[in-house]
């Protein structure tokens, strides 16, 4: 098992990465505060891991409450209506301020459970147990929580840190191929924004990544988490450098919002968005056209999409981008690449250059 550290002063917490951690009662119980627990999961994950997790919790603690709530699966359910189900359960079952929420699932479950924890009785303890690659390398780390709105992704939320992230690599064995590849997109992001050596390593290990080689997976998750933990430690609330973690996300969120969260998966949309960001960076003269094509080739070799859905046109794309959280004074601030491994958040680009990128990608 690997143990990393997110350094945030009194809000610091560990990230555990290993196999069989869902069954490690001692590890799980170490991070339960109080004697009440609500495990929040979804209808896909519950049959696979809920009993195992509850048995682990029961084996290590004498709990007065060990409840579970099974929510519908999918990004389309990441909204206020579903969030209300968590509050309803907590209140009907009289959970106190000493309760701990445990998020067992992917990014949607982690984001919603974290937001419920941040706001139930003004804040209760919560633990992340991510079961998808995307959530293990990205969404479970850093304290971003929230839900979507029909007009914009993640527009309602809060920064609220977990007390621990427990990433069981064994859960990736049951992850569908499309979900796995969507998670790989977020891994590629770390190489592009801050770790060019990692980007080279990824290109050298495409076959092992696609084959889910256990040794390569472990290294990939650990290095991704190290990169994110380092950025979060320097800028917890995204006042400056943390925004580079959103490479491709402004473009990607526009796709997700336009498709009403029923089309491309988040990681797939981010893959397209990263390529669009690279294209615009090239038009600014920061990276070469060959580097853009190299990224396109890598994404394709990892089974990720590189084209915009047919429902999008450049006008709709720009309108959706204007609702992004990084818009400032009417300017869409984008994460772009000054070089591979060197990202910057900027609004310093010509509207005509952005339009060229949109026109190049939109059908």
- Residues 44 and 135 both lie in one domain: yes
- Residues 155 and 196 both lie in one domain: no
Final residue belonging to a domain, choices 148, 174, 200: 174
Q: Of residues 326 and 289, which shows the higher confidence score?
A: 289
Per-residue tokens: 337 = 């690449």
> CA-based Rg of the chain, rounded to a whole angstrom?
20
* List 31, 153, 228, 296, catalytic entry: 228
* List 77, 78, 253, 283, catalytic entry: 253
* List 31, 78, 153, 249, catalytic entry: 249
Query: What per-residue confidence (pLDDT) applies to 221?
Result: 98
Report which DSSP code applies to 173.
G
For the stretch 201-226, pLDDT in tens is: 999 999 999 999 999 999 999 999 99
Average pLDDT over residues 170-177: 96
pLDDT band at 60 (very low <50, low <70, confident <90, very high): confident
Query: Residue 357 belongs to a domain with what CATH number?
Result: 1.20.1090.10
Q: Of residues 330 and 85, which shows the higher confidence score?
A: 85
- Residues 215 and 306 both lie in one domain: yes
- Residues 203 and 327 both lie in one domain: yes
- Residues 267 and 204 both lie in one domain: yes
Per-residue tokens: 330 = 């009417």
Catalytic annotation present for 249: yes
Catalytic annotation present for 246: yes
Catalytic annotation present for 122: yes
* List 148, 246, 256, 333, catalytic entry: 246
- Domain encompassing residue 95: 2-174
- Residues 181 and 137 both lie in one domain: no
Average pLDDT over residues 234-242: 92
For 70, how many CA atoms within 13 A lie in the half-sphere containing its CB?
9
Average pLDDT over residues 56-64: 90
CB neighbour list of residue 313: distance below 8 Å, 6 or more residues apart:
362, 363
Catalytic annotation present for 242: yes
Query: What per-residue confidence (pLDDT) applies to 329?
Result: 67
Average pLDDT over residues 325-349: 88
In this predicted structure, the answer to whether residue 322 has a pLDDT above a threshold of 90 is no
- Residues 162 and 182 both lie in one domain: no
In this predicted structure, the answer to whether residue 357 has a pLDDT above a threshold of 80 is yes
Catalytic annotation present for 228: yes
Place of tokens 């038009």: 283
**Number of domains, the chain:** 2
- Residues 169 and 184 both lie in one domain: no
Query: What per-residue confidence (pLDDT) applies to 330?
Result: 73
Whether the Cβ atoms of residue 243 and residue 326 lie closer than 8 Å to each other: yes
Catalytic annotation present for 226: no
Strand partners, 157: 146
* List 36, 75, 179, 238, catalytic entry: 238
* List 92, 94, 122, 215, catalytic entry: 122
Query: What per-residue confidence (pLDDT) applies to 168?
Result: 98
Model-level pTM?
A: 0.94
For the stretch 61-120, pLDDT in tens is: 889 999 999 999 999 999 999 999 999 999 999 999 999 999 999 999 999 999 999 999
Final residue belonging to a domain, choices 152, 174, 196: 174
Catalytic annotation present for 297: no
Query: What per-residue confidence (pLDDT) applies to 85?
Result: 98
Per-residue tokens: 1 = 């098992």
- Please name which of 118, 110, 129, 49 lies closest in space to residue 90, comparing C-alpha atoms: 118
- Residues 205 and 95 both lie in one domain: no
* List 77, 95, 242, 333, catalytic entry: 242
Average pLDDT over residues 308-315: 92
Query: What per-residue confidence (pLDDT) applies to 324?
Result: 75
In this predicted structure, the answer to whether residue 31 has a pLDDT above a threshold of 90 is yes
- Residues 246 and 146 both lie in one domain: no
CA distance 14 to 225: 11
Query: What per-residue confidence (pLDDT) applies to 62?
Result: 87
* List 95, 144, 189, 283, catalytic entry: 144
Catalytic annotation present for 236: no
- Please name which of 87, 6, 7, 79 lies closest in space to residue 40, comparing C-alpha atoms: 87
Final residue belonging to a domain, choices 174, 207, 224: 174
Query: What per-residue confidence (pLDDT) applies to 163?
Result: 98
Main-chain dihedrals φ then ψ at residue 132, nearest 5 degrees: -120, 160
In this predicted structure, the answer to whether residue 363 has a pLDDT above a threshold of 80 is no
Query: What per-residue confidence (pLDDT) applies to 239?
Result: 87
- Residues 94 and 150 both lie in one domain: yes
């Amino acid at each position: 098992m690997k143990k990393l550290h997110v350094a945030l002063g009194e809000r610091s917490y560990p990230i555990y990465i290993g196999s069989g951690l869902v069954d490690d009662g001692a590890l799980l119980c170490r991070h339960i505060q109080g004697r009440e627990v609500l495990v929040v999961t979804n209808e896909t994950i519950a049959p696979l891991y809920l009993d195992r997790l509850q048995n682990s919790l029961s084996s290590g603690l004498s709990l007065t409450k060990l409840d579970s709530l099974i929510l519908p699966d999918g990004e389309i359910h990441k909204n206020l209506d579903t969030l209300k189900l968590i509050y309803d359960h907590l209140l009907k079952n009289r959970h106190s301020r000493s309760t701990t929420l445990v998020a067992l699932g992917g990014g949607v479950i982690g984001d919603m459970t974290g937001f419920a924890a941040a706001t139930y009785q003004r804040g209760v303890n919560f633990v992340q147990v991510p079961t998808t690659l995307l959530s293990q390398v990205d969404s479970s780390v850093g304290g971003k929580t929230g839900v979507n709105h029909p007009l914009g992704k993640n527009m309602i939320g809060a920064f609220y840190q977990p007390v621990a992230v427990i990433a069981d690599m064994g859960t990736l064995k049951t992850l569908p191929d499309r979900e796995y590849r969507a998670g790989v997109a977020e891994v590629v992001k770390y190489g592009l924004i801050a770790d060019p050596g990692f980007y080279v390593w990824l290109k050298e290990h495409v076959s092992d990544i696609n084959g889910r080689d256990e040794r390569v997976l472990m290294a990939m998750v650990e290095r991704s988490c190290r990169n994110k933990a380092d950025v979060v430690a320097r800028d917890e609330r995204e006042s400056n450098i943390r925004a580079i973690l959103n490479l491709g996300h402004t473009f990607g969120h526009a796709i997700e919002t336009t498709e009403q969260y029923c089309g491309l998966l988040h990681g797939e949309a981010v893959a397209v968005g990263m390529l669009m960001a690279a294209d615009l960076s090239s038009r600014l003269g920061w990276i070469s056209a060959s580097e853009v094509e190299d990224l396109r080739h890598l994404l394709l070799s990892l089974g990720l999409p590189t084209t915009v859905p047919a429902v999008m046109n450049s006008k709709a794309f720009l309108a959706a981008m204007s609702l992004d959280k990084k818009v400032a004074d009417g300017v869409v601030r984008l994460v772009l690449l000054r070089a591979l491994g060197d990202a910057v958040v900027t609004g310093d680009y010509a509207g005509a250059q952005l339009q060229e990128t949109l026109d190049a990608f939109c059908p």
